[in-house]
Structure 1
Amino acid sequence: MDKKNWIIGAVVGAVMGGAIAGGAAVAHHAFAAEFDGKAPVLLRGKVTRVEWINPHAWVHINNTNAQYAEGAWMVEGGTPNTLLRAGIDRNSLKPGTEIVVRGYQSKDKLCKPACKANGRDVTFPDGRKIFMGSSGTGAPKDGADASER
């Protein structure tokens, strides 16, 4: 490959890489951009599916707590790596697992196709409670994160 073609290839690669990285950066958001710190929720129900994707994992549950909209909820957690370090993995969040999630509802309050919330912690049937958020996102400081104490 001659020098000219190498330079063109390098420039095209850099532009493509920047476009891909830029898309990921736009997709990531601070807590306050999407969620309402004055709208806490306590959801209870069975896991229907889990999306282990970056930049945030999503836990889908069928909420049965009548205090909040019953039915499908999407709960945003930290990155898959953050959840794994906290002790949440594919085996602990299998569909059908009954959980309780404490978190904050989305600002738009829309529930189509599902209601959305940012999860602060999840409680499992055996009583284990695990922090599922990510530090430094702008979420209210409520003591759920050990780094806040």
Structure 2
Amino acid sequence: MKKIFPRALLVLAALSIGPLASAHHSFAALFDANKPIRLKGTLTKIEWTNPHSYFHLDVVDSKGVTNSWAVEGAGPGALSRRGFKKGDVQIGDTLIVDGYLVKKAGVRLIDGRVVTLPDGRVINGGTDGDGGPGDSKPADAQKPAGA
């Protein structure tokens, strides 16, 4: 009995982690592939964190109102392998990001798939293997449909 309980607990823990990991890395769990968006804004904050990096932009809308947006991208290692390194952008730089809106209404968060850097380089900003639009494409940037 003493040997069975720890093993059963370990199996239960392993089985419960799978759905969480899948949901975390699933584009469809958070973002809407039918809602492409392009943001052009001023970089206000950078979070080079794993498993995702976040870039915060101030974006002026058509009415002249400035709104703060968060852009979720791949982790720092993946971005670096694609040629996007920490020193490539500075607070105050203008970025153009093509991506997809989060499903939750009223939240200013997008999944950033294509990032145009201040020097004109275009980088694939998406997370590989998340099932999002363009995921099966090569690492070169792909524009979202309708953007």
For residues 55 and 62 of structure 1, the distance between their equivalents in structure 2, rounded to whole angstroms, comes to 23
- Give how far 1:142 is off: 8.3
For residues 106 and 128 of structure 1, the distance between their equivalents in structure 2, rounded to whole angstroms, comes to 25
Find 1:51's aligned residue among 39, 47, 53. 47
Find 2:129's aligned residue among 128, 133, 136. 136
Deviation by residue 1:54-94 (Cα, 9 ceiling, x = unmatched): 11111111112539x85111100011110111121221122
The alignment's TM-score, normalised by the length of structure 1, stands at: 0.72
Question: In structure 1, what residue type is equivalent to 2:60?
Answer: T
User: Does the 8 Å contact 1:103/1:121 carry over to 2?
Assistant: yes
- CA RMSD, Structure 1 to Structure 2 (Å): 3.2
Deviation by residue 1:92-117 (Cα, 9 ceiling, x = unmatched): 12211111000000001323xxx000
Where in structure 2 are the equivalents of 1:1-149 lying within 5 Å? 22=17, 25=21, 28-66=24-62, 70-111=66-107, 115-141=108-134, 145-146=137-138
The alignment's TM-score, normalised by the length of structure 2, stands at: 0.73
- Give how far 1:120 is off: 0.5
The SS at the match of 2:77 is helix
Aligned length: 130
The SS at the match of 2:74 is coil
Q: Aligned residue for 1:3?
A: none
For residues 65 and 119 of structure 1, the distance between their equivalents in structure 2, rounded to whole angstroms, comes to 18
Residues 41-50 or 129-138, more deviating: 129-138
User: Structure 2: which 5+ residue stretches go unaligned?
Assistant: 1-5, 143-147
Bigger-Rg structure (1/2): 1
The SS at the match of 1:54 is coil
Question: In structure 2, what residue type is equivalent to 1:132?
Answer: G
Question: In structure 2, what residue type is equivalent to 1:133?
Answer: G
User: Does the 8 Å contact 1:99/1:125 carry over to 2?
Assistant: yes
The SS at the match of 2:129 is coil
